[in-house]
Amino acid sequence: MSEPHATVPLAAKKPVVREFHGRKFVDDYEWLRDKDAPETISYLEAENAYLAANTSLLNEMTGNIYEEIKSRVKETDMSVPVRAGDWWYYGRTEEGKSYGLSCRLRLDEGSDPWTPLTIPETGRPEGEQVILDLNELAEGHDFLALGASSVTTSGRYLAYSVDTEGDERFDLFVKDLETGELLDDRLTGIFYGATWAGEEYLFYQRVDDAWRPDTVWRHRIGTPEEQDVLVYREEDERYTVGVGGTRSEKFLIIESASKITSETSVCLVEGVEEGFELLWPREPGIEYSVDHAVVAGEDRWIVTHNATGPDFAVGECAVGELPPLRELTELVAHEPGTRIEGVDTYENQIVLGYRKGAIGRIAVMPLDKTRGFGEFSEIPFSEDLYSAGIGGNPEWDAPVLRLSFTSFTQPAQVLDYEVATGAMTVLKEQEVRGGYDPEEYTAYRLWPQAADGTQIPVSVVHRKDLDTSRAQPALLYAYGAYESSTDPGFSISRLSLLDRGMMFVVAHVRGGGEMGRGWYDEGKLLNKKNTFTDFIDVADDLIDRGLTSPEMLVAEGGSAGGMLMGAVANMAPEKFRGIQAVVPFVDSLTSMLMPELPLTVTEWDEWGDPFHDPEVYDYMASYSGYENVAKQNYPDILAITSLNDTRVLYVEPAKWIAKLRETATGGQFLLKTAMSAGHGGVSGRYEKWRETAFEYAWTVNKATGRTA
């Protein structure tokens, strides 16, 4: 017999009555928002006990999947070394340790600085220096996350920051890598990241009470935190700020951006005390970003912007000579449906990232020291469904580009691309222990049609020997927000689903970025319901094709994708056997009516502002997962959250599950709360594998009925 689920007498809890724009909503579970109240903690702990009792039949399969993941992962492993200055930097993992180690080796005199260093993957090479061991930092803590890890160009100082609560507020330390000692410098409660300006200054961000990064500060090494200098403050609550440096190490850049508008300020690294200069002032709806290049001996700004069209273009101008954005010299013209995502600049080339046909692509333009700009040429890859990106290229004068490549069936690869010749060298491929043959799996695209005629890209992955002439169990996943794309990628843990006869399906619904800025715009604000109906239309298409059935279909989404799960549960509960919602944004209207909460005001450009606009209020009220729980049969639902999550507060899924139990019929509604974790869940790779194993066991059980 299962444990009773959590109950707190509602008579002892006064309902909260919300009134906006003449509309009234009675919220019986808002009392759960008090995170420090003993009743709240007791409630969440009781829910965890209820979940454990009601999922005990999954313990064997959870253990099996965990062991499968663990057995397939090369636990003692290392990354391909990356050169920066006079050092090769790399990461290392060791069997039995939950966290990684950051290491380096000095560049040998006379060696080729562009031929990747080969290091034994077991044992530590002579001369290796461990600059940061996260296992040591995690001792005594249930949670650990790294927010910054940045070494000065000389290689002497390391700035790193850690969060041990899960609330994404970090403490920063500075380590002298020559002595191994920590300096007295310590910055507390800062945001992600840290940027060096030489060896004398560090730039970093702080957040306001609503957890909005709103200020940039300058810290001088060797001085107390109280003497740090505020160099930039963003007063507009819709905007967040970030700071970074150009690869050339000549400029520092501060970008202030809302969801739809941005502006950039710059300063010379050699003149940080003189302050930052604004480039182009913000213009509503105009976004731009800059990078620095030297072309024919002249400093130039390479500018990615949407001033000439929503899918962005790339222009350039001389540093110090700033024509209007619409009058920049054009390098890449705006082309509808080809979404320019940004540029990376080097001494001898510019790399362009863009998205076309729902696939991210890379092109390279050589820079001639006398003639200047060349032409962009796309780097070809062999698969149709793939992900490729730039990574691990800190050196300004690099003649090669370090690339990453993966697909749904291809384990991740690290490659070197020689710009001058186009030669591609595979430096490392993710090893799958126990044997893995990509020929045993298949991935392909479907293009079902939404009710309004829009074609939706859908990715399908399964074993080749799966009999798709009849309905099979399937997991349907989607995100669908913030112009974020769910790109093809290999997953060792996913093999435990596929090898149990399940299909993995990704619905690239509107609200994401797979098909350009228009795809995003059609799934946000007063178009948000397209995200939900697209997902339902994809489920219908899979069922109509005979690939699966409602009795074997499980839906999954997390964070903003959890909002999707809440809406779909209300709109089409009969189409799914189970719904898994991870840190789900299911009480979205309540959150968007509370400007004091983290992220709320900055999110108004994504969801709309129901606080001031009654039309937005009514629209959000019509789809919000929590408000629309109805007296109808629901599938089984598993909600997963973290007590210290700053982005989507634990109270949202807690209230949602409570209301489902009160109102709905049919399904079993479970809540799992990690009591020492944040938005990304638990930390440590073994802990994450156990969490994944449990989630997959639940999914497999719902889709197949299996318990092992």
What is the dotted CATH code of the domain comprising 287-430?
2.130.10.120
In this prediction, residue 125 has a pLDDT band, given cuts at 50, 70 and 90, of: confident
Q: How many other CB atoms sit within 10 Å of the CB of residue 311?
A: 22
CB under 8 Å to 63, separation ≥6 — which residues? Answer: 693
Mean pLDDT of the chain: 94
Q: Which pLDDT does position 334 carry in this prediction?
A: 97
Q: What is the C-alpha separation between 133 and 100, in angstroms, rounded?
A: 7
pTM here?
0.94
The per-residue pLDDT for range 301-344, each reduced to its tens digit, is 999 999 999 999 999 999 999 999 999 999 999 999 999 999 99
Of 68-72, 78-82, 242-246, 532-536, the one with minimum mean pLDDT is 78-82
Would you state the structure tokens that stand for residue 561, as one six-digit string?
Answer: 């994708």
What are the extents of the domains in the chain? 56-71+437-704, 287-430
Residue 3 has pLDDT above 90, yes or no: no
Place of tokens 């959150």: 591
Q: Which fold has domain 56-71+437-704?
A: Rossmann fold (3.40.50)
Would you state the structure tokens that stand for residue 402, as one six-digit string?
Answer: 């370090």
Which of 27, 311, 609, 645 is an active site residue?
Answer: 645
Q: Is 645 among the residues known to form the active site?
A: yes
Q: Which pLDDT does position 636 carry in this prediction?
A: 98
Contact 219, 123 (CB under 8 A): no
Instruction: List the strands of the sheet with 313-318, edge to edge.
Output: 288-295, 298-305, 313-318, 329-332
- Phi first, then psi, for residue 507 (nearest 5°) are -95, 110
The per-residue pLDDT for range 367-413, each reduced to its tens digit, is 987 778 989 999 999 888 999 999 888 899 988 999 999 999 999 99
Q: Name the β-bridge partners of 647.
A: none
Residue 173 has pLDDT above 80, yes or no: yes
Torsion of CA 577, 581, 585, 589, to 10 degrees: 20
The per-residue pLDDT for range 24-66, each reduced to its tens digit, is 999 999 999 999 999 999 999 999 999 999 999 999 999 999 9
Q: Is 289 among the residues known to form the active site?
A: no
Nearest to 443 by CA among 514, 503, 360: 503
Collapsing DSSP to helix, strand or coil, 678 comes out as strand
Which of 5, 149, 679, 683 is an active site residue?
Answer: 679
The per-residue pLDDT for range 552-591, each reduced to its tens digit, is 999 999 999 999 999 999 999 999 999 999 999 999 999 9
DSSP state of 625: T
Which of 161, 559, 591, 642 is an active site residue?
Answer: 559
Q: Is 679 among the residues known to form the active site?
A: yes
